[in-house]
Amino acid sequence: HLSKKFIKKDGSEFWALQDINFELRRGDSLGIIGPNGSGKSTLLKLLSGILKPTTGTITFYGTSASVLDIGTGFHPELTGRENIYLNGAILGMSKAEITTQFDQIVDFAGNQISQFLDTPVKRYSSGMYVRLGFAISAHLNPEILIVDEVLAVGDADFQKKSLGKMKEVAANEKTILFVSHNLTAVSNLCNKTLHLEKGKVKQMGDTSQVLKNYMSEVQSKKMFYSAESFSKGLGNELIRLKYAEI
């Protein structure tokens, strides 16, 4: 069972994940949902090899590619063009294989990338990072694609293209692990969903049933904010919030 422990500055332990255990088959698309701080991104970093688990093991059968935090997998001093070849080499592809996919990658990433293809990626905006990172990973034919909130960055057109590309990847009997707060996207893409809460598995199973339970739970919870006084409320000299309930 997979677990990940961090040590805080004061020396205390924090378990970001505990007793995570699941198995996917070729062609499965797994949505990973849960509130902020539930361990979703930590799980993907473990699966991507960026972090090592405190306990447990991870077994992959096939090549994997990841689109995680902005800049993950890029060398900041290299150009966009050079990073395409670097990422392909990391995935075990030959230069000829990468060249075959090169034009499709650049076209998918969009005009903004093609105009600055020979610029070091350290000068790219966050949106450009994600556009290029997703375009590279999705077009280099990995057998397992790991994606963290790519739909949260970029314009509506790129989000639509990204979701369409992931559907295409899934249709080719590839496996996808997809973290998102966009439940509609999870519903459209994933046949299975994992719901994490406080680092533990709350539920896992058929996407429609897991999302139904998750939404029911979210709707039953009330969130509120209350300040001791108006002067201590969130805001500035023009407007302040004393109380809010959702």
The tens place of each residue's pLDDT in the chain, 246 residues long, gives 899 999 988 989 999 999 999 999 999 999 999 998 899 989 999 998 889 999 999 998 888 888 776 556 689 999 999 999 988 887 777 899 899 999 999 999 888 899 999 999 999 987 888 888 888 877 877 889 888 876 656 677 888 888 888 888 888 889 999 998 889 989 999 999 999 999 999 999 999 999 999 999 887 776 667 777 777 778 777 788 887 876
What are the residues whose beta carbons fall under 8 Å from the beta carbon of 183, sequence distance 6 or more?
Answer: 33, 211, 214, 215
| 3-state secondary structure (DSSP) of residue 202 | strand
Q: What is the pLDDT of residue 223?
A: 65
The tokens of 213 are what? Answer: 């339970």
Pick from 140, 142, 150: nearest CA to 70: 150
Q: At what angle do helices 95-109 and 126-139 cross, to 10 degrees?
A: 130
Amino acid symbol at 117: L
Threshold 0.75, pTM exceeds: yes
